[in-house]
Amino acid sequence: MRLRADWLSRVLTVPYVPVLGPAHPDLCTPEMFIDVFTEVLTASRTGVALPFDKDRRWSPTKDDTVLMDEIVHRPDHTIIPVVTRRGGGTVKTYFYGDSPDLDALRAATRRCCTTYAAAHGRVMWFSTNPTGHANQTRVLVKDFNHPAPEPTTDPAVTELDDCDRDVAATFADFAAAMADHGFEFLHNRRDAGHQDGPILVTQAGGRVVGAIGPLTIISDRSGRRMLLPQYFGVLPGQRGHGHGRALWRAVERWSVHHRAHYQLLQTRVDGASDRLFLSEGLRPLGYASTVHA
């Protein structure tokens, strides 16, 4: 199926590409969306991750397949289902357009789950205004084209590898406590010898209490340097003491120093990271909502 730029221009309200995720708004015109989507299709046939895919840092292969026969492309909406085989298989249906019929989309996704032997199904749609949906994230962009902010005086931020040995050893306990933020996965990769990029930490009482990382830059499709999303978290008992802001400003300084052009992020609406990033001047691009099928 060939996508039409004139139809996409009416519904591509949030720069978000199936399989790849958020894109910089300057690089996600309807015409470029079609070009990138064509490359996504080619990659899904070969199983090789695209060079500008953020997940490439974890693996050079990718098992997401666009379900071409299930695509719906009309003047007022476009529906693109994708199946991945991880964790028993998941069909994710991307809807672009106004006022999605969630009952119909969920039913179609469940049918795809049966057809393609996937255990799970989800529907994702996009909007320029908050809908109040429980599973809604805000898509944000940070352009690193301004002077880096001054560091906070307290707490101090250091690279994990530069910490005293006893402090660095507490990262394992931090990672276990923050497993739902991805740090246990990251700690296990470090233990296995993977070098994914620096991890910045704050400490209190001789232990790691906040962290953000790994810091990794890749070139996007246009050649611009893109800082990839990081795992980011502060222990519950240490929140409200400036650890999160200190870590984020350290990331900004690191990014400017390493000539990154921008970063794209998704945050849970009105969550701690969301409030922090908005207060730090990140630019909202819209909203993505998800429901289980």
In this prediction, residue 254 carries a pLDDT of 95
In this prediction, residue 133 carries a pLDDT of 75
**Strand 136-143 relative to strand 21-22, pairing:** unpaired
- The CA–CA distances, whole Å, from 76 to 60, 234, 288 equal 36, 43, 18
- The pLDDT > 70 percentage for the chain reads 99
Give the confidence band of 27 by pLDDT, cuts at 50, 70, 90.
confident
- The pLDDT > 90 percentage for the chain reads 87
Average pLDDT, the chain: 94
- What DSSP string runs through 117-183? T-SEEEEEEEESS----TTEEEEEEEE--SPPPPPPSSS--EEGGGS-HHHHHTHHHHHHHTGGGTH
Pairwise CA distance, residues 108 & 291, whole Å = 13
Better pLDDT: 45 or 215: 215
Give the confidence band of 1 by pLDDT, cuts at 50, 70, 90.
confident
In this prediction, residue 262 carries a pLDDT of 97
The predicted-structure confidence for 234-265, as pLDDT tens digits, reads as follows: 999 999 999 999 999 999 999 999 999 999 99
pTM: 0.92
Judged by DSSP in three states, 95 sits in strand
CA 191: distance to chain centroid?
24
In this prediction, residue 146 carries a pLDDT of 73
In this prediction, residue 67 carries a pLDDT of 95
Give the confidence band of 100 by pLDDT, cuts at 50, 70, 90.
very high
The predicted-structure confidence for 278-291, as pLDDT tens digits, reads as follows: 999 999 999 999 99
- The CA–CA distances, whole Å, from 231 to 13, 51, 69, 78, 109 equal 27, 21, 36, 32, 30
Q: Which residues lie below 8 Å from residue 194, measured CB to CB, with a gap of 6+?
A: none
In this prediction, residue 253 carries a pLDDT of 94
Average pLDDT over residues 74-86: 95
Instruction: Of 217, 189, 184, 213, give the one whose Cα is nearest residue 199.
Output: 213
The predicted-structure confidence for 131-165, as pLDDT tens digits, reads as follows: 877 789 999 999 998 777 777 667 999 999 999 99
In this prediction, residue 265 carries a pLDDT of 96
User: For residue 259, what are the β-bridge partners?
Assistant: none
**Domains of the chain and CATH, by start:** 5-138 (no CATH), 146-260 (3.40.630.30)
Give the confidence band of 65 by pLDDT, cuts at 50, 70, 90.
very high
Contact criterion met (CB below 8 Å) for 234 and 60: no
In this prediction, residue 39 carries a pLDDT of 93
pLDDT surpasses 80 at 215: yes
